[in-house]
Amino acid sequence: MDSLYNPSGVEERWQQTWESEGLYSAEPGSGRETFVVAHPPPNVTGALHTGHALQISLADTLVRWHRMRGFETAFLTGYDHAGISTQNAVEKHLASQGKSRQELGREAFVELVWEWLHEYGRTITDQFRRMGASMDYARERFTMDDAYVRAVMRYFVHLHGKGWIYRANRIINWCPFHETSLSDLELVHEEVDDALTYVRYPFADDGGDGVTLATARPATILGDVAVAVHPDDDRWRHAVGREVVVPFVERRVPVVADERVDPEFGTGALKVTPGHDPMDFEIGLAHDLPELTVIGPDGRMNEAAGELAGLSQEEADRRILDWVREREQLVKREAYRHSVALCERCKSRIEPLISLQWWCRMDELKRPAVEALREGRVRYHPESQHRYAVDSLDNAPDWNISRQIWWGHQLPVWECPDGHLTVQEDTPDACSECGSTELERSEDVLDTWFSSALWPFAILGWPESTPELEAWYPGTLNTTAREIIRLWENRMIFSGLELMGGIPFRDVIIHTTVLAADGRRMSKSLGTGLDPLDLVAEHGADATRYGLMKMASSQDVRFNEKVIQEGRRLANKLWNVSRLILSNSAGATPEARPRDAEERWILARLDATRAELERSWSAFDFAPAANELYHLTFDDFCDWYAEAIKPRFRDGEDADVRATALAALERLLKLLHPVMPHVTEEIWSQLPAREQRLILSPWPEADSSHAGDLHALDRVQEAAALFRRSGAAVELDQDQRRIFDAVVRPDRVRADGDPTAEIERLRKEIARAEGMLGNERFVSRAPEDVVEAEREKLARYRRELEALGG
RNA sequence: GGGCGCAUAGCUCAGCGGGAGAGCGCCCGCUUCACACGCGGGAGGUCCCUGGUUCGAUCCCAGGUGCGCCCACCA
């Protein structure tokens, strides 16, 4: 064994061994209690990022812990076809060759996507493997697998049959590049410098000045069907009920009063363009106004724009501004900074358009899920995220589930020439209404999240009845990032309740968002991203897992490579103390036969740490567990226990000390294994009398037999601290003296410290404690144990002061 | 505009009603036969501000300030 632990090579070797020996595989129906994690499927073209790495570190720790505890663990994974994202990647590739998907046509394009995936897709699970994720890779599923597609079709038909899926014209977010609708959740918002234009709309009857209003998008003036003001706005009360003339198109439109208008903005008057603005769309509905669409799906002015048809919006802006300027209706233009919606994939500016789309009604679907959350049958952690999840589900609007892209699950909807719709899983022979055989399938595909919503049971074979589905539904927990709650978690919950009749998992861990070191969001486009595989290459997967776990504390945390280095030092420390014990234990077998204080003490400390780990992992409270392991290894195990027994190793024949040391090391390895699986398995394999791999060896039982020894070294540790600070020695019994000499080695330490500062410190402490104990109100009102603890402290300070001769 | 979170040592963060902590960085001393990715010691802090509750507040409550993330239809 080298004196420097090098994880490279060791980790890969164990990853291959564990998997090839089938130790990652789960067996349905084994009869053991199950621990099931359906891991979030990464995008099929995706690469590992810090979020994945953190997620795996947390989930795999829990999985490995439960595997050791004898649970049948199923850690399941696979890929998401990721509609827009994947299509976008392939389109970029096409563009680099000067081609477009339109030139290829739909069929050839989809074929190209499959080829692309064959070549570039499905690499991320190898990166999961490299993190040490103990997933059942043989059960990988893809949302485009035939069986999965069947599940998606079944769900659509099911919801349609209940009347919860319908088609309607609504205003939606349109991406002019992808030429598809997008849900609100697929947008990003960005601040832009723009101009706000104040335009006067004259009254149609020529009396007075008319109404001046402000707009950021003059081109949409062509689609104006009204002007709206707030009903309580005295400035415009005279205008309500009259008509104004829309510039350029010279259309007469009414002035209406509506509470949605913000009187504080601009002049307090709003041009109403239901065809191109969501709020205007609502105002239009309320006032029974027509919906006029003047911008087409390509983002340019359409036929309804008359002489401006075919122009870009910028050109149309200019033409309209010229028109109002000539007629002195351009009041002013001012700089205006505001946020605009962009497509999260291509960053195109989103066009609100009225469009015929498919919707999923949420009111009844969400109700049982809200109930399950309110009753705590599914719990989000931390609690603050639970409240957010419930609120956002409770307020979820109907869900636009159709997309006009090409890569995805095509809707199981067929239309005949008379416009009748037939909805069924497989291609129908004839129209269900008129019997026509001239059917055309809808070209729309489903929102990617519609299929993701089925993940926890579709990967188990639903709608078929399978042993996996029987054994592993509901699962145990799910881990994800905050922004995925509405997109995915809530939808899995209502889908599971609807189709399976029960929740998909009990707990959802919303993990920390790891920010870049400078506090900005990690993102490829900002250049603030970080490749976890670089960390693994440099420090090892064990160190990376440890570091990420220790960082996973509050809601947002800055990435800190120092913590990963700390993990590497921990692995190295463990490696070296193992070398010490192994090299001194030839012929011994692990068995706890403690005789002296330090032996009983380390067994007590190991058991206390076991309990603490169980507590924090059960509460999904990861950072304290990492801390505890570090402290146990460095301070307790190495600096005290190992130092204390070293001379006894050298003394020779003490078989009990060696057997106990091996047993203690075994327990330490077990406690560390869920977090640092590789280095612990490597050391484990070198211990004598190995019957099974550490990954499968049982988690230590609770062992209270040494609980009384948890404080066995207190006096020695006090004495050591005092001696090292000041050179003073307190009285110790013979056994305590032996440990003190072994650990402190007063023969080698220069004990010439100046006791003055220490005396000063102790006098202050004594004064403080005496003050408290002399306060009658403290003694009578504080809890008895607090008062008692204070008395003990005072006694100790006096003892130490005496040793210093003060 | 709403929700959530965070303000503690130079940095990154624990702690959380009774003596201010860790890792890193810095200074000093150790080539101690497991480990210099180590061992020992040290310097360094009005625990953001103002009130309140309490025998006692870094910790609980109220208000404020600053920062971050998420969400949102101010044209």
HEC assignment per residue over A546-603: HHHHHHCCCCEEECCHHHHHHHHHHHHHHHHHHHHHHHCCCCCCCCCCCCCHHHHHHH
Rounded CA-CA distance A317/A351 in Å is 15
Upper half-sphere CA count for residue A556 (Cβ side, 13 Å): 9
Per CA to C1' distance, which residue is closest to B18?
A786
Q: Give the β-pairing of A440-441 and A243-246.
A: unpaired
> Could you report how far apart the first and last alpha carbons of chain A are, in Å?
50
Cβ atoms of residues A571 and A539 within 8 Å: no
Distance A384 CA to B57 C1' (A): 25
CA nearest neighbour of A675 among A519, A571, A538, A786: A571
What pLDDT shows up at residue A806?
A: 65
Please report, rounded to whole angstroms, the spatial distance between the CA atom of protein residue A784 and the C1' atom of nucleotide B74.
60
| Interatomic CA–C1' length for residue A689 and nucleotide B63, angstroms | 65
Coil/strand/helix, residue A360: strand
pLDDT of residue A749: 67
Residue A354 CA and nucleotide B73 C1' are separated, in Å, by: 14
Distance in angstroms: CA A79, C1' B61: 49
Q: What is the mean pLDDT of each run of 10 residues along chain A (806 residues)?
A: 90 97 94 95 87 92 97 96 87 88 91 90 91 96 95 96 92 85 79 85 82 90 90 86 89 90 86 89 88 87 86 90 89 84 82 88 92 92 88 88 92 93 92 90 93 96 95 94 89 95 94 82 72 92 94 83 93 96 89 93 94 91 91 95 90 83 96 97 92 95 90 90 85 92 83 72 86 89 88 87 80
Cα of A423 vs its chain's centroid, Å: 36
CB proximity list for A623: less than 8 A, separation 6 or greater: A549, A550, A551, A552, A553
DSSP, res A214: E
Contact, A552 vs A58, CB < 8 A?
yes
State the Cα angle at A28 between A22 and A31, rounded to 5°. Answer: 110
Containing A248, the helix (H) or strand (E) segment is none
Measure the CA–CA gap between A157 and A532, rounded to whole angstroms: 41
- DSSP H/E element including A245: strand A243-246
Query: Mapping DSSP to helix (H, G, I), strand (E, B) and coil, where does residue A669 land?
Result: helix
* Burial environment of residue A711 by CB neighbours within 10 A (0 to 12, 13 to 18, 19 or more): exposed
> Which residue's CA shows the smallest distance to C1' of B69?
A556
Q: pTM for the full model?
A: 0.91
**What nucleotide is nearest A273 when CA is compared to C1'?**
B75
Please give the Cα distance from A3 to A217 (Å, whole number). Answer: 69
A581 nearest nucleotide via C1' and CA:
B34
Q: Which residues of A777-800 are buried (b: 16+ CB within 10 A; e: fewer)?
A: eeeeeeeeeeeeebeebbebbbeb
User: In chain A, count of helices (H) and strands (E)?
Assistant: 28, 25
pLDDT of residue A586: 83
Protein-proximal nucleotides of chain B (any atom < 7 Å from a CB): 3-6, 11-15, 18-19, 22-24, 29-30, 32, 34-43, 54-56, 67-75
Q: How far is the CA of A560 from the C1' of B11 (A)?
A: 10
Residue nearest B22, CA–C1′ metric: A627
The encoded tokens of residue A327 equal: 């007629």
A572 CA to B31 C1', in Å? Answer: 19
| Closest residue (Cα, C1') to B33 | A650
Q: State the nucleotide closest to A745 in CA–C1' terms.
A: B32
In Å, what is the separation between the CA of A550 and the C1' of B16? 19
Nucleotide nearest to A579 (CA to C1'): B34
Prediction ipTM score: 0.94
How many angstroms separate the CA of A777 from the C1' of B51? 24
Integer distance in angstroms from CA A744 to C1' B2? 59
The nt closest to A569 (CA vs C1′) is B37
* Distance in angstroms: CA A456, C1' B13: 36
Task: Give the separation between CA A36 and CA A26, rounded to whole angstroms.
Answer: 10
Tell how far CA A399 is from the center of its chain: 22
On the CB side of A804, CA atoms within 13 Å amount to 27
User: What is the phi-psi region of residue A208: left when phi exceeds 0, alpha when psi lies from -120 to 50, beta otherwise?
Assistant: left
Q: Which residue is nearest to nucleotide B19 (CA to C1')?
A: A765
CB atoms within 10 A of CB A107: 9
The nucleotide closest to A637 (CA, C1' atoms):
B34
- Closest nucleotide C1' to the C-alpha of A624: B14
Selection from A293, A299, A295, A302 nearest residue A275 by Cα: A293
Closest residue (CA) to C1' of nucleotide B30 is A749
A640 closest-nt by C1' vs CA: B39
